[in-house]
């Protein structure tokens, strides 16, 4: 795996962990009522999608359980259709997809030093 891909995967993992940290004590309704929370998690998901879009095809093949097209599509949706985001889909991404992504990425990235 190239150093560039390692960096991109690290960005994805860090952003996923950061988004998860924002969830403490939150509910799906907070996406509707707390604009700062909404913007924070959207930004982290955008970072994940942008990094994912730049991971090489070779590295993607080594991580087949990651839904690369869905991650990039989510980023594109958030960037280009920001006024029409389904908050229930966003909540599922935060509570289901991100923990799964973290589980897939952690063994693929060299340990922090």
Q: Which residues are catalytic?
A: 75, 80
- Count of other CB atoms within 10 angstroms of residue 31: 19
Torsion from C-alpha of 63, 12, 104, 76, nearest 10 degrees: -70
CA distances from 97 to 5, 20, 91, 102 (A): 21, 11, 9, 9
Torsion of CA 105, 61, 55, 43, to 10 degrees: -50
């Amino acid at each position: 795996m190239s150093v560039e891909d390692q960096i991109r995967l690290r960005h994805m993992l860090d952003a996923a962990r950061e988004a998860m940290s924002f969830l403490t004590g939150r509910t799906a309704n907070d996406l509707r009522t707390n604009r700062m929370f909404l913007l924070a998690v959207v930004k982290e998901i955008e970072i994940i999608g942008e990094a994912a879009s730049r991971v090489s095809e070779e590295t993607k093949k080594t991580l087949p359980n990651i839904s690369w097209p869905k991650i990039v599509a989510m980023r594109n949706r958030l960037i280009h259709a920001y006024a029409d985001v389904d908050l229930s889909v966003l909540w599922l991404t935060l509570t289901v997809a991100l923990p799964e992504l973290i589980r897939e990425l952690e063994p693929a990235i060299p340990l922090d030093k």
